[in-house]
Amino acid sequence: MTHGDLGDFLRAHRARLRPDDVALPSYGRRRVAGLRREEVAVLAGMNTDYYARLEQGRERRPSPQILDALCRALRLDDAARDHLFRLAGSAPQERPRPLDAVSPALRRLLDACPHTPAFVLNPALDLLTVNALADALFSPFRRADNLARMTFLDPAARGFFRHWDRAAEATVAELRQATGLAPDFPRLHAVVSTLSGASGEFAALWHAHAVQGKTFNTKELVHPDVGALSLAYESFDVRGAPGQQLVMYHAEPGSPGAQALALLGTLAATRRREQSGRP
């Protein structure tokens, strides 16, 4: 195989993706199909010129870390990932197992955002840690332990999610994507198996094979204490903790959603003081 093969492979997979597929804004006139080189470089966290040299065959030995970043940016499945490594003359690297332990520094970061619901997920959508406002936001549920279980098996979900059908579809699509990113994660398969057996709605959506990652979007929620909440959310991969995502909800400043979040935080703080016996 030649380095031209590597460039051809990268160009072909770049052409298959649209900005919408990777949650990028589309701007300007596009002269070619798919993503631009600079867009792939941004997604992979590398210099645009370096990526161009890869496509042109002028960069001959990309590191395994660079190749893994390209796999994520181009949404390559396992077979395509292994082929990319072989084209680059590198043995495919073992995928790191997702971590469930949240670092103390990340916990402190969440606690430092008292006005924003924030939490950390693993690929199975387990809530690994939440800050105080996220804990208050999820208080209608019997247990705030796993977003998929909460969505499909907790009776509170139908009232909590204003558009439950959309929330359910997105949840299953996120789990489906996770099976490609963390195929050897036992907890993920256990969640899917449990929900498939306990919920016919989950099973039907699972067999639809829709794929979607958490990036940014809007949630329409209804909380029994403060009413309707229109919240945007953004998701960030946690460096140094494979498989973990930091998710943060926020409302437009001055909006009814922001006022409702502030009220929710006040109510939760008051309850914590009452429970602790402090004045």
Question: Is the Cα torsion angle 241, 105, 128, 170 positive or negative in sign?
Answer: negative
Q: What band does 1 get if pLDDT is binned at 50, 70 and 90? A: very low
Cα 78 from Cα 93, distance rounded (Å): 11
Number of H helices, E strands in the chain: 13, 5
Domain ranges of the chain: 3-87, 104-276
For the chain, the first-to-last Cα distance in angstroms comes to: 73
pLDDT above 60 (res 3): no
CATH tag, 3-87: 1.10.260.40
Per-residue pLDDT band at 87 (split at 50, 70, 90): confident
**Sequence-separated contacts (24+) of 217-220 with Cβ below 8 Å:** 217/170, 219/161, 219/167, 219/249, 220/161, 220/162, 220/163
Q: What is the CATH number of domain 104-276?
A: 3.30.450.180
Tell me if 9 sits within 8 A of 84, measured CB to CB: yes
For residue 279, the model assigns a pLDDT of: 60
Determine contact, residues 46/59, Cβ cutoff 8 Å. no
Q: What pLDDT shows up at residue 79? A: 73
Q: How far apart are CA 259 and CA 78, in angstroms?
A: 45
Can you say how many angstroms the Cα of residue 49 is from the centroid of all Cα atoms in its chain? Answer: 28
Rounded mean pLDDT, 38-67: 91
The string of pLDDT tens digits covering residues 119-178 is 999 999 999 999 999 999 999 999 999 999 999 999 999 999 999 999 999 999 899 888
CA-to-CA separations, 172 to 2, 71, 113, in angstroms, rounded: 40, 22, 28
Q: How far apart are CA 234 and CA 35, in angstroms?
A: 22
Is residue 185 within 8 Å of residue 124, measured between CB atoms? yes
Task: Phi first, then psi: give them for residue 245, nearest 5 degrees.
Answer: -125, 135
Report how far residue 179's alpha carbon sits from residue 185's, in angstroms, rounded to the nearest whole number: 8
Contact by Cβ (8 Å): 279, 273: yes
